[in-house]
Structures are given as structure tokens and as C-alpha cells.
Amino acid sequence: MNEEILKPYIRAVDPEKDKDLPIYSHSKLEQFTVCPYAYNLKYNEDKRSEDTTLALELGSLLHKILELKGNWVYKGLDIDFDKLYNIIENGYEEQDEKTSEKLRGIQALKRSYFDDWYTPDNASGMTYEDKIKLFKMIVLQNEMLNTKWKPVYFELPFEFVWNNRCIIHGFIDRVDIKDGQFRVVDYKTSKKLFDEAKVKTSQQFGIYACAILNMFNVLPVEYEYDFILLNQKQQAMSTGWEKRFIKKIEKILDAIDKADETKAFYPKPCPLCYYCNYCVNNPNAKEYQDECVYYSLWTPTNKSFGVNKEFNILDFRKDKDKLKTEKRKLIF
């Protein structure tokens, strides 16, 4: 059974025994993979930006909408679409348990991100105005209905110990059950589907699968990305993903351990720098936009392969030592 491949690597968290283990989430591990330099700024130097984006705010709002609808479907209640439409327009006034924030509706988001709202993206060719209409007219109407799968858990919290070396925790958007089998669903507000190479061994779904195995002693049989602004779904996890996932997670954890030991968190400049909160090119970055000088020069209007500054570990360490010396002088 495939469960037997993963069982030796996961177990429940013992609050006393495991109190000193490092704690990771999928997003934290993903951040290291994308850019160790940004990972270090955020998680080691604790430079956690309050800056946000239209995609993040809208994503949180629509996740809440589907969570509310899902709970009504699960309980067999009538779906109050008028209430859901009102939340979409005007926001969710109660404090969201996951984000600990109130969620703004699209009327406020349009005012804050006017240009972003009405600019078609380069993948789907749709604006956010188009996408919201699609979501309200089709996705919201049909989601979780007319299917043998029954939605049971929403924003399901989890934690488990991986290979006795760390705790992995997080939330699963939705878990469905059919005839005693499990399906995990993750909502995406991306502008296009993922490359097939990424979904064959999805790190995110691998973590969710381990969480389900830890809680219910069985692996899910389906893994589905639900692109709710495109009205498209994408299946993930091809045959043999379990062994590939183990190698993938162990490789990331080994790399993090090495970076922690050597204090060498190398930047990985790429087009994603434009959306990074530590990059001056990001129009939404404010608080820490000058923290990284090694960013890619790529922008949506200038698809450059150049970088602002080449990274040199010796120069980087000299700069860090100089900064520490200056801080000591200010203290004394």
C-alpha cells in the first residue's frame, strides 16, 4: 500500500518531546525554494512585510466565500447567495480566523488597485472584472453541487512531525469524502494552470496527503487544484509521487540546514522578483522594498534577463559585518 511508504516519515506532534523542532509550512518551504535570500529576510531576520496585493486580498475573500458555502452544503442548508454576493461586494466584517483580519470586498479593492483591476493579464486575457463575473455566475453557483463527493472539512488545520526533524503545519482549503475515500481540494486564483511537471509531485499536496494520513490513517485518492477565477480544475500527483515527494522534502530541509549552518542564503533573481516585497521594482512594496539589491530587472513591460547586482558571498558577509559594527557603535 502507498500509505506504508510514507508512514515511517510522519507521526503526531508531542508538545513536550517536539518543542524544539523547527516549524515549517508549505509556504515557508516554498519561499526557500523560490529564493533563500528572501526566506532569510522574512523568517530569520523577521522582516515580515504588511504590504499586500490585489491577488492576495481577493484570494482571501473568495476562500472565505467558498468556506461559507461549503459549510451550508455540508449541513444540508439552503445556500444564501444574496449574503455571499453582498460579502463579495462589501467584504466580510467578522475577523477571519486564518488571516486574523477583516476582509475587504471588491468595491474597496477596485479603489485600492484600480489599474490592476482593469488591466487584462497576459495569460488568460481577462481582467479581474471579467474574472469576478465568471466566479459569481458559474463557479459560485456550481461549486460543491451535483457531485458524489461531499465537502466535509474547510480550512482544516493540521500539524505533524516529518522524519523526526521538523513540524509541518498549515490549513487545507477543502476535504471531500466519498465512500470512505478522501479528496483534497486547493483553491487557486492564479491566471493560468500550473505546468504539468509541477503537479506530478506537488509539494503542497504531498504535505496535505501526509496530514490526511496522520489524521485518518489513509491517503487521499484525488488531489485537485480548483482555479476559481478561470472555472478550470487540474488534477495533481502522478503514480509514484510518494517516493519523489520524500526526496523533494528531504532535499529542501537539507538545504535549509546547510544555509542555517553557513549563513549563506543565496538569492535567486528571476521575474518573480517583481512581485517580491523586498524588491524596489515591486509597485506594491513599501516597508522593506530596499532590502534586496540582487533582484532581477524583469518587469511586465521590460522582460530583461539582467540583474541589478551580482551576488558575491564574500562581499555580502563583509557588508553584514560592517552593518553589525555600525549598530554596535550606535548602541554604545
Residue 108 has pLDDT above 70, yes or no: yes
- Would you say residue 231 has pLDDT above 50? yes
Q: What is the mean pLDDT of residues 165-177?
A: 98
Residue 95 — very low, low, confident or very high, per pLDDT cuts 50/70/90?
low
Rounded CA gap, 304 and 296, in Å? Answer: 8
Task: Supply the pLDDT for residue 321.
Answer: 59
Cα–Cα nearest to 307, from 290, 295, 315, 318:
295
Q: How confident is the model at residue 52 (pLDDT cuts 50, 70, 90)?
A: confident
Q: What is the pLDDT of residue 50?
A: 82
> What pLDDT score was predicted for residue 74?
95
**Mean pLDDT confidence for 270-286:** 91
Q: Give the pLDDT band (50/70/90) at residue 185.
A: very high
Q: Taking a C-beta distance cutoff of 8 angstroms, is the pair 308, 293 a contact?
A: yes
- Who's near 171: CB < 8 A, 6+ residues apart? 98, 155, 156, 157, 158
Residue 311 has pLDDT above 60, yes or no: yes
59 has a pLDDT exceeding 70: yes
**Confidence check: pLDDT of 326 > 80:** no
Mean pLDDT calculated for residue range 139-164: 95
Residue 299 φ then ψ, to 5° = -140, 165
Check pLDDT > 90 for residue 107: yes
Domain range list for the chain? 3-35+150-262, 54-142, 271-331
Least confident of 35-44, 120-129, 282-291: 282-291
Structure confidence at residue 94 (pLDDT): 75
pLDDT of residue 320: 62
pLDDT band at 288 (very low <50, low <70, confident <90, very high): very high
Phi, psi of 172 (to 5 degrees): -105, 125
Which pTM does this prediction carry?
A: 0.91
Residue 121: pLDDT above 80? yes
For residue 52, give Cα distances in angstroms to 19, 49, 86, 101: 32, 8, 23, 12
pLDDT band at 303 (very low <50, low <70, confident <90, very high): confident
Residue 12: pLDDT band (50, 70, 90) is very high
Which residue, 291, 289, 294, is CA-closest to 310?
A: 294
**149 close to 177: Cβ distance less than 8 angstroms:** yes
